[in-house]
Amino acid sequence: MPSFSSFSGATFLRAGGRSSRSFFIPKRTLSTHASSSNQVNQRLVIGASVALAVPTYLYLTRARLDYQPDTVPDKVESDVPDRVHGAKNGREVDKISSREVLEKKDSDEFWVVINGEVYNVTEFVDEHPGGREIIENNRSKDVSYIFNPRHPSDQLEPDNLPPSVKHLGQLEIESAYEKEQLQVKITKSEEDEKIRIQNKRDEYEEKGLSNIINMRDFQSAAEELCTKVGWAYYASAADDEITKEENNTDYKKIRFRPRVLRSVKEVDASTKILGYDSTIPLWISPAAMAKLGHPDGEINMTKGAASTGIIQCISSFASCSIEEITSARTANQPLFFQLYVNSKRNLAKDVISKINRLGLNAILLTVDAPVGGKRERDIRVKGEFEAPKTKAFDKQGDTKGVSETLFSAVDPDLNWNDLKWLKEQTDLPIIIKGVQTVEDAVQAYKLGADGVILSNHGGRQLDTTSTGISTLIEIRKHAPFLLRPAHRIPTGPSKELIENPDKLVPSIPTTEKPLERKFSIFVDGGIWRGTDVVKALCLGADAVGVGRGFLFAQTVGGVQGVEHAVKIFQSEIESTMRLLGATKLDDLRPSMVDIVN
């Protein structure tokens, strides 16, 4: 990390494309190559606020978390209805006998049962973004147990069903034997895992969030509450996971320079992000597949962001559809959308017009993932648990980790010229996510982006690349004009402050002019503490993003988990500011930190 020492100064569309037309999404950096009860919620929130305002270990609230255990995997049996239903929404529906479904196993057709409905997916198997094998291996089965945690709950609505999937009718069970035959076989390890998770859920329901006093506590708890497949997807990073580790250790190379005997009774960590109010200078980074951790998935974040006043950025690969998320949104709640651009531009256009139509507030264009990183934990666990063991590792392109599946969808041809095209499609602010060099930050500014997120995708893409915070330091050294004038000054002791020690912050040099147009700089990756957030802001970031932290929080406590996480960050940010002698975010300046080799 040389910059630290050298300067002190698809083709398939997920959330964005639920309709059958925009169903297929694509795939590259822009280089040419409900919570269970309000009462419980209130108890937790009040408990959490009190707890975080005073020593956190005093927080002993006991409450049920809002995890709903009646969803998968317990649905395996209950998904198969015993009764015949003759009508749905007032319309007569065809009934398909269990015998007919089972007989199809020996035919050329692929039929599956999902939540009591029978589908013919013969023409769809080869275009299924989750791969052919998962369906082939489970043909003529009730696949709800596999399907539900990985797909939005409105995926099977007529408007969202790909034309190649045929809905045949409702399942009619003819015998207990046939019901048994329809069930997906659960392996011994999956069975053991179910029991392990349920036991842990029970423990956490008893304890509430009382033992979660920092974000790493959420991490340990989430590991216990996730399936192996889910945990591998969340925790995994590229290759040797060096960048993932450095994302956090780089913050440890920055030391504070606190000023003492300043009145810090009142402190305000609120800010505006792209013009929208935020309680703290931190947002929920877009992260796919929240349902792998909790059945309500991204909706937990939407509700938790609303009640705590922070901003959620929705992943293109969210496991809840964009419509589900926007329906859960409160009036005027800002939501940002993370976009992967489809190589079929008409489909990409559909997504962008949906974003415009649904009133989302900004687009984060992710550019560090023209292809998926090689995430080995993900690949190994997926091979062990779900992919057929014989074919999973035939050749690299055939590995079936969750991430591999998702990235088979993103356009690798995306390049800087496409930014112009994107700007023509929307009036929303466009932020380039995944910038890892000063050159690309300058390019983003020159080509009209409204900002950049200095990010390496949580270490999940190119291993041993720079960290968000080190790229910020690179910008400070080589292109300080991109920063707000107050942040262009060096880190460490200031001559002006030594001469005027009563002042908290150095003056802005009169020679420094703001940029011609507003350009925001955000940082993410490895932010686990309020101190990390404050360091990034001292060095010139406008705000930061947190990915895994919120995935873990919602895994553990659903909406309340997200709320609790925000309270933890808020408490830590405010106490860091106080201990630094700062009472508002504008006080946070480079002179308050120093970088150690």
Q: Which of 250, 350, 368, 532 is catalytic?
A: 368
The single residue among 253, 259, 529, 548 that binds ligand FMN, judged by CB under 6 A, is 548
Burial zone of 357 (CB within 10 Å; 0-12 exposed, 13-18 middle, 19+ buried): exposed
Cβ nearer to ligand FMN, comparing 370 with 547: 547
285 binds, among ligand FMN, ligand HEM, none (CB under 5 to 8 A by kind): ligand FMN
C-alpha 477/C-alpha 471 separation (Å) is: 10
C-alpha 590/C-alpha 567 separation (Å) is: 26
Distance of CA 92 to the CA centre of its chain: 40
DSSP 443: H
Is there binding between residue 285 and ligand FMN (CB under 6 A)? yes
Residues 6+ apart with CB under 8 A from 425: 349, 352, 353, 356
Q: Is 368 a catalytic residue?
A: yes
Is there binding between residue 375 and ligand FMN (CB under 6 A)? no
Is there binding between residue 372 and ligand FMN (CB under 6 A)? no
Is there binding between residue 471 and ligand FMN (CB under 6 A)? no
DSSP 123: T
Residues 6+ apart with CB under 8 A from 206: 62
C-alpha 208/C-alpha 560 separation (Å) is: 10
The single residue among 264, 402, 422, 585 that binds ligand HEM, judged by CB under 6 A, is 402
Size of the site for ligand FMN (CB under 6 A): 27
According to DSSP, the residues that pair with 254 across neighbouring strands are: 595
To which H or E segment does residue 256 belong?
A: strand 254-256
Residues 110/120, Cβ–Cβ less than 8 Å:
yes
C-alpha 584/C-alpha 571 separation (Å) is: 14
The single residue among 72, 80, 134, 419 that binds ligand HEM, judged by CB under 6 A, is 134
Q: Which residue is nearest to ligand HEM (CB)?
A: 130
Is there binding between residue 382 and ligand FMN (CB under 6 A)? no
Is there binding between residue 234 and ligand HEM (CB under 6 A)? no
Q: Which stretch binds ligand HEM (CB under 6 A): 141-149, 336-344, 432-440, 513-521?
A: 141-149
Q: Hey, CA dihedral for 22, 23, 27, 29, is it positive or negative? A: positive
C-alpha 486/C-alpha 359 separation (Å) is: 34
Is there binding between residue 315 and ligand FMN (CB under 6 A)? yes
Binders of ligand FMN among 506-525, rule CB under 6 A?
524-525
> If you search the block for the tokens 């992919």, which residue do you land on?
387
C-alpha 52/C-alpha 571 separation (Å) is: 6
- Provide, rounded to whole angstroms, the least separation between the CB of residue 277 and ligand FMN: 22
Binders of ligand FMN among 82-101, rule CB under 6 A?
none
C-alpha 597/C-alpha 4 separation (Å) is: 7
Is there binding between residue 232 and ligand HEM (CB under 6 A)? no
Cβ nearer to ligand FMN, comparing 547 with 590: 547
73 prior amide bond cis, ω within 30: yes
Q: Which residue is nearest to ligand FMN (CB)?
A: 547
Is there binding between residue 155 and ligand HEM (CB under 6 A)? yes
C-alpha 321/C-alpha 15 separation (Å) is: 5
Residues 6+ apart with CB under 8 A from 92: 86
Is there binding between residue 26 and ligand FMN (CB under 6 A)? no
457 binds, among ligand FMN, ligand HEM, none (CB under 5 to 8 A by kind): ligand FMN
For residues 234 to 263, the per-residue mask of contacts with ligand FMN, x marking binding by CB under 6 A and - elsewhere, is x------------x----------------
Is there binding between residue 458 and ligand FMN (CB under 6 A)? yes
DSSP 584: B
Residues lying near ligand FMN in the complex (CB under 6 A) are found at 233-234, 247, 285-288, 315-317, 338, 366, 433, 455, 457-458, 460, 524-527, 545-549, 551
Return the active site residues. 340, 368, 457
Residues lying near ligand HEM in the complex (CB under 6 A) are found at 12, 14, 112, 119, 121, 128-130, 134-135, 138, 143, 146-147, 150-151, 155, 162, 165, 317, 402, 405-406
